[in-house]
Amino acid sequence: MGIGNRIPEEVLSQPNRYEPKVEKPKKEQPSVNFVPEEPKYELGDIILPQGVRDDILDVADYARNSKIVFEQWGLGKTHKYSKRMGINLYGPPGTGKTMAAHAIAKYLGRKILAVSYADIESKYVGETPKNIRKAFEVAKETGSILFFDEADAILSRRVTNMSNATDVSVNQTRSVLLMILNDHEDFIIFATNFIENFDPAFMRRIAKHIKFSLPDEECRRTLWKMYIPEEMPNNIDIDSLARKYEGLSGSDISTAVLMAAFKAVRSGASCVDQSYVEDATAGILASKEDNEARKGVTTRRVVSEEYAKSQMQRES
């Protein structure tokens, strides 16, 4: 027996609503580390048409001589916004764009900081722009040349008719990159297979666009010679291959030689026969034709903001 009203059992069994709520610790967002590296290739390692090689050297020398032009000769006062030098290497896959980026850095005697969209993309809201800024900061601090590979993923056209939260995030990322590019006063390299996807605003901010085409007959002949080692026994007619098979990239030729060598060993042959190389080459060209036939077949799915948020929560 006590004084006052008795507290019902169902109230006693409930958690104390006056107890302070204990907040769950926020999940720590993974940080992205950008590490410059020594260039892997030099210009002598790349087989390119002379016109493309000359364009690359023109741009590389622009970067090398910019200190003389802008500082010693005073053009930094009259051309305040010309110090930044962006170069875009575009063309089909396997034509040497990535190798050329490394070769340019080697030519300039600098390290290269290679960045892809996968490196900077984050499922956390606002983190992708932060990662972009960090990449530029690391490049500046280390004196490295910044190289965006598969740049169409980050320089693509902004969404004009935004229909979901993802579209908003993409546009924010593009806007941040545009602002950073305006302030960046150093050499920067982009590479893409799909220049048609670039936003016009980015196209204007890139001083030089260099097209990488598939090798002509002379380049194909040089590439076949380069990728067939002297130690490999063979009866390959290089002139015939260079003349007969158009539409091959340097990467395709490298793959064809490798596959033909493995087929010869598996078959117990004493040398790599011409037929093995031709079979491998024909297969590569057939797969490229099939892939080309499917170009432009895309599916766009519009989702709600609630759906986008729910996916982020699930992944986190």
d(CA 207, CA 186): 12
Residue 69, amino acid = V
> Average pLDDT for residues 211-227, to the nearest whole number?
95
d(CA 52, CA 124): 40
Judged by average pLDDT, the poorest of 57-71, 114-128, 160-174, 233-247 is 160-174
Q: What six digits make up the tokens of 159?
A: 């969404």
Show me where the domains of the chain are located.
Answer: 43-213, 217-293
Fold that domain 43-213 belongs to in CATH:
Rossmann fold (3.40.50)
The architecture that CATH gives domain 217-293 is Orthogonal Bundle (1.10)
Check residues 20 and 42 and name the one with the higher pLDDT: 42
For 277-312, what is each residue's pLDDT tens digit? 999 999 999 999 998 876 554 444 443 444 444 444
pLDDT at 168: 54
CATH topology identical between 43-213 and 217-293: no
Beta bridge partners of 191: 89
For 46-73, what is each residue's pLDDT tens digit? 999 889 999 999 888 887 787 788 888 9
For 138-182, what is each residue's pLDDT tens digit? 999 999 999 999 898 888 765 455 454 455 566 777 888 888 888
Share of residues in the chain with pLDDT > 70 (%): 76
Task: Give 168: exposed, middle or buried? Use CB within 10 Å, 0-12, 13-18, 19+.
Answer: middle
Please say whether the dihedral angle defined by the alpha carbons of residues 104, 109, 110 and 111, taken in this order, is positive or negative.
positive
Half-sphere exposure of 269 toward its Cβ, with a 13 Å CA cutoff?
18
32 CB neighbour count, 10 Å cutoff: 18
